[in-house]
């Protein structure tokens, strides 16, 4: 399906192309009735104004990619960004990036802003609960690849970590050290990755016959401050956990801060999901289940360029394995 043009809108509205241009550019002198007809035609055809029309007529592509990440403050997002840029640079393609700050209301607005600028492809981490609105854009030929989280309401190219197995690895490692009371501290449970890590945690706890105390399951933590407070509450329980599994790197930072403040950093075992820049400098150094954000970014960029080069196939999902990095905190034995 080809993108509708300004000429198509003009024909649907029964006006001249110049009139459509005036409406798009918010000319106040256009009559209200005419403007309404043009806007109705734009909505019906899903027309998006082309901010680089002259450039596109000359060469067909803008040599740009759009990258939308969940939160630029997260080191994971930064590593994905760098990897996408490294692949794009080899093709002399610029990468325009934006952070959604994990705000679902910003996703569609940011996506449409990139599409109005006619980026050649999109790589994005979803934060909204439905991405079906992108189906038409994919049908028109725009390569779109989802990273870190699967899209909802849409089948599309996706590159994700094996979150489920990663969580099971963390629990298994702690259980091997003798821990039976392991607490889970998780991210926003509307997010795919958070649900998968919680599912893996619970399944491995059941498989190992570990304590399933309801107070040990803490979810919907959105920042380091909330995870620090949750950690302090866990440590204040009459029978506290002997090990913690913070299932996201920013949550791990809050956990570590709380344990250090409470003098428990060397007596409570911790295995975090995803690495943080200072993991090896902590006391004890942080054991983690590490993702490979660089490979995720590289694979996503390669898919986009393969599509742009004419590859036609069904959408595929690439699952990148996680790995346990043993440093010390996850090897603290229960007292």
* Helices 6-13 and 17-24, packing angle to 10 deg: 110
Measured CA to CA, the distance from residue 172 to residue 240 in angstroms comes to 19
Looking at 180-223, list the stretches that DSSP marks H as alpha helix, in order from N- to C-terminal side.
192-208
pLDDT tens-place string over residues 19-38: 888 888 777 788 889 999 99
The neighbouring-strand residues paired with 96 are 66
Encoding tokens for residue 136?
């038409």
Which comes out higher in pLDDT, residue 88 or 51?
Answer: 88
- Pairing state between β 287-290 and 243-246: unpaired
pLDDT confidence bin for 136, thresholds 50/70/90:
confident
DSSP state letter for 246: E
- 82 pLDDT above the threshold of 60: yes
Most confident of 65-74, 254-263, 273-282, 306-315: 254-263
Predicted confidence (pLDDT) at residue 55 exceeds the cutoff of 60: no
Mean pLDDT, residues 69-81: 89
Q: Which of 231, 226, 221, 225 is nearest to 198 (CA)?
A: 221
């Amino acid at each position: 399906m080809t993108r509708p043009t300004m000429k198509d809108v003009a024909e649907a509205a029964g006006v001249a192309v110049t009139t459509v241009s005036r409406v798009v550019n918010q000319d106040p002198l256009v009559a209200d009735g005419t403007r309404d007809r043009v806007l109705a035609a734009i909505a019906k055809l899903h027309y998006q104004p082309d901010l680089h029309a002259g450039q596109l007529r000359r060469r067909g592509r803008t040599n740009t990619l759009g990258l939308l990440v969940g939160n630029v403050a997260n080191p994971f997002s930064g590593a994905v960004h760098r990897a996408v840029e490294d692949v794009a640079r080899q093709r002399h393609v610029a990468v325009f990036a934006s952070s959604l700050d994990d705000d679902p209301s910003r996703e569609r607005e940011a996506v449409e802003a990139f599409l109005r600028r006619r980026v050649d492809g999109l790589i994005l981490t979803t934060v909204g609960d439905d991405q079906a609105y992108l189906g038409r854009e994919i049908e028109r030929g725009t390569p779109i690849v989802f990273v870190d989280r699967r899209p909802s309401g849409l089948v599309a190219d996706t590159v994700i970590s094996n979150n489920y197995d990663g969580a099971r690895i963390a629990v298994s490692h702690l259980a091997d050290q003798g821990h039976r009371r392991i607490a889970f501290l998780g991210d926003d449970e509307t997010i795919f990755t958070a649900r998968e890590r919680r599912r893996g945690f619970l399944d491995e706890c059941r498989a190992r016959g570990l304590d399933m105390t309801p107070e040990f399951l803490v979810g919907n933590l959105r920042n380091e401050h909330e995870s620090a407070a949750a950690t302090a509450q866990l440590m204040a329980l009459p029978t506290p956990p002997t090990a913690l599994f913070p299932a996201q790197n920013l949550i791990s930072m809050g956990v570590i801060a709380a344990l250090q403040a409470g003098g428990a950093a060397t007596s409570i075992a911790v295995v975090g999901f995803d690495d943080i820049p200072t993991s090896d400098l902590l006391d004890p150094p942080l054991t983690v289940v590490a993702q490979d954000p660089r490979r995720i970014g590289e694979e996503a960029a390669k898919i986009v360029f393969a599509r742009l080069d004419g590859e036609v196939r069904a959408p595929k999902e690439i699952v990148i394995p996680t790995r346990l990095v043993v440093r010390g905190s996850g090897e603290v034995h229960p007292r």
